[in-house]
Chain A
Amino acid sequence: MSSSLMGPVTRRQFVTSSTAAMVAAGLGATAASAQSAGAASGAASMRVIIDTDPGVDDAFALLLAMRSPELKIEAITPVAGNVPLSLTLPNALRMVEISGRTDIPVAAGARTPLVRRLVTAAYAHGENGLGGAEFPEPKTKPVSEPAAELIRRIIRKYPGEVTLITLGPLTNIAAALGTDSELAGMVKGLVMMGGSLSGGNITPAAEFNIYVDPEAARMVFQSGIPITMVGLDVTRKTALTDDHVRTLAAGKSPVSQAAAKIARNAIDHNRAQGFLIGPNMHDSLALTAFLDPSILRFDDYYVDVEVNGELTAGQTLGYSPNQGDLRRTPEMQKKAESSMVIRGSAPTLAGTKISPVLRDKYIPNTRVALDLDSARFFELLIGRLSN
């Protein structure tokens, strides 16, 4: 094996290694240390770009992110999704103003999915995207650079350092990856709220974020970026309650007050719509999977997206090499992984010599969240927001 291959292989092993190794190798350790020391010192050590479509739970996740001192938020890039871009963009700017973080660049993203027409979820997020909670028009303006361009520029500026946190349809990310074939190899990781291995919400098969732009989602899953998927499998276990609202309402800060207001409206809106399940904190949980992965349990899957199904468009399919019928002996599995380039559609930083075969061998490309400690999650979420 040539030395140029060692880079990708090492990285793939990193991705497909156990959660314990993952924690030891990077994310968890960084998060843990940041939580203990970082909160006090304010050392922002984890560079992230937050791609989002606020959105009730997106708004929560944005507030949580800006209350998380370990994060160095390089940009927020709104995209059309839960509601059109004409609402997600000002909603993101509102959250930035409420948090007193107008230093963070907010860049307008895609107005429509890559190939399809936009489907929104006003039924779940209210006509204004915040469950009907009213906030003043933002004074802050978005930066002039389009989202995909800003994403690309930041990743290239800090190769190997930036984690993408995606809370909406993956249009902006796919556009950035498509325009720059080397970019995927420079991304540290991608933590997404999206997908499901156990049934959908917008349709019986599909989770909303993937359903809106399945082609973009497929580009991302095949990019070779190490992906953490926080889907409905876990997020549906995170219902917001009246108790949470009371705790937030008791908090003094503008962030806590804003969160209480959005939460109140979201719960009321949800009840008015006749839903049995409370508003799920999908996006905050995805962010939490990055902040403190020990709150969730993960397993490795090969994940791909159905882009053509009549009933199944936007469904995420997961194949577990530990359980499926295509599983190999450990030696053969190792051989398969080592002969594989991790970049589905892009060469690595080092440059690779073989063509991508990611899909041929059903090698894991995603850590899928399968379970969580709900109490610890809400402790972190409500704790940080109301503090």
Chain B
Amino acid sequence: MKVIRICFVIPLLIASCLACWSQEKRKVIIDQDAAGPGGTDQQAILMLVQSPQTEVLGITVVTGDAWLKEELAHTLRMLELIDRTDIPVLRGAEYPLVRRKAETELWEQRYGSVSWLGAWTPRFYHPPDELGKMPEGQPTAKPSDEDAAHFLVRMVKKYPHQITIYAGGPMTNIALAIAIDPEFASLAKELVFMGASLSPQTDDPEFLNLPRHEFNIWFDPEAAHVVLTSPWKKIVCTPVDISVKTRMTNELIGRVKAANTPAAHYIATYSRLFGTYNYLWDELAAAAWLDAGVITKKETRYLDVDLDRGAGYGNILTWTEQDKAKIETQPVEIQVDLDSQKFYQMFVDLLSAPTPKP
């Protein structure tokens, strides 16, 4: 009798939990330099879309790791493959606010070459209107008519203090949203971003000699400055320091591959390792937001960006509470250490799961 009652109660409990979960879905807009197919940018988007906790209001795309137009195509195609084209994809900025390619090439002649230039990296370079290789096929879905910055502004006004802005790329779109509406930052719930590099412990040559250089901040330093000095309620940063403690491996891909779901098929077909260092940059920022237990150590710093056009242009500047500059910097929660096993398990579980319906 008792057993029967428990059997009866447990499904009820689960059902009610699911019900309250769906009521309290966490609203997020994913602002991403969505190179693809596969790779850290798409994998992070996928983790956020795959989580039953989230309501992804839209994906605002920005030039960064690749050009805007190809990123739009990769994102739309990925959403088609997991049958989630209900999520709006929005055109963002095609260029950083001020930085230009020609100017950057002159800078490199003077101060040394930069290993990752995103869309401008010579060995991958193609013009902004070309899509490059699309092994996953061209999407038939189209981006929304609205542009990214206005969408961002409209959404935070519609859901004040409820939306997390997840930023996985250069901050151009977010800076433009702030330019359009200075209240944007204070109307969002929080900013969660992958970016910045403080003093990563690594032998990776990209950071060994340039520990303060990180692509997302560097590619649009002026935008990052605007964003980091705006009045957010909360800012959370996943810096290179913690990224280098993660590794994407064939073993991980293999574990996802075992599942028979659209997301797992996508990862199995398009996720590949490149070179020596394969970090789970944007995935960690996504996972840490989904489950705070992933992060085992964090600290508070104040952040800004070096805008002088010398050797340090685009480098991150940091202060502690005691010695912070008397300027409008915000306290930023910096992630320092993680529970790797928990993180990798989340990565596998989320990417293996059936895609939640809208």
Contact = CB atoms under 8 A, between A and B. Distances in A.
Interface of A: 110-112, 114-115, 146, 148-149, 152, 171, 174-175, 178-181, 215, 218-219, 222, 307-308, 345-347, 351-355, 357, 359-360
Interface string B73-100: 0000000000000000001111101101
B321 interface: no
Contact of B68 (A111, A181, A357): A181
B147 interface: yes
B102 A178 contact: no
Interface of B: 68, 91-95, 97-98, 100-103, 127-130, 147-150, 153, 172, 175-176, 179-182, 222, 225-226, 307-309
Contacts of B127: 353-355
20 contacts: A110-B179, A114-B97, A146-B180, A146-B181, A148-B150, A148-B179, A149-B150, A171-B179, A175-B179, A178-B93, A179-B92, A179-B176, A181-B95, A215-B97, A308-B308, A345-B94, A347-B128, A353-B127, A353-B130, A354-B127
Nearest to A149: B150
Contacts of B309: 308
Given A114-B226, A347-B129, A179 B98 contact: no
Given A179-B176, A347-B129, A222 B94 contact: no
Given A115-B225, A115-B307, A178-B179, 20 more contacts: A110-B180, A114-B222, A115-B97, A115-B98, A146-B180, A146-B181, A152-B147, A152-B150, A175-B149, A179-B150, A181-B68, A181-B91, A181-B93, A222-B100, A347-B128, A347-B129, A355-B127, A359-B100, A359-B102, A359-B103
A171 B153 CA distance: 17
Contacts of B226: 114-115
Given A146-B181, A351-B129, A353-B129, A180 B147 contact: yes
B182 A112 contact: yes
B128 A355 contact: yes
Given A114-B179, A353-B129, A357-B102, A178 B97 contact: yes
Contacts of B308: 308
A111 B181 CA distance: 8
B156 to A, nearest CB: 13
Given A181-B91, A308-B309, A347-B129, A360 B98 contact: no
Q: Which 4 A-B pairs have the closest CB atoms?
A: A181-B94, A179-B149, A355-B127, A175-B179
B98 A307 contact: yes
A152 B147 CA distance: 10
A110 to B, nearest CB: 6
Contacts of B150: 148-149, 152, 179
Given A180-B147, A308-B308, A346 B94 contact: yes
B97 A179 contact: no
A219 B176 CA distance: 12
Nearest to B310: A308
A357 B127 CA distance: 11
Given A181-B91, A355-B128, A219 B179 contact: no
Contacts of A149: 150, 180
Contacts of A148: 149-150, 179-180
Contacts of B147: 152, 179-180
A174 B97 CA distance: 9
A353 B182 CA distance: 36
Contacts of B180: 110, 146, 148-149, 175, 179
A307 to B, nearest CB: 6
A178 B225 contact: no
B153 A146 contact: yes
A1 to B, nearest CB: 15
Nearest to A354: B127
Contacts of B68: 181
A368 to B, nearest CB: 22
A363 to B, nearest CB: 13
A355 B63 CA distance: 14
A59 B54 CA distance: 50
B100 A178 contact: no
A313 to B, nearest CB: 11
Contacts of A152: 147, 150
Nearest to B120: A355
Most buried by B among A112, A222, A345, A354: A345
A178 B103 CA distance: 19
Contacts of B149: 148, 175, 178-179
A352 B94 CA distance: 14
A378 B297 CA distance: 70
B172 to A, nearest CB: 7
A315 B184 CA distance: 31
Contacts of B93: 178-179, 181
Contacts of B225: 115
Given A179-B148, A308-B308, A219 B98 contact: yes
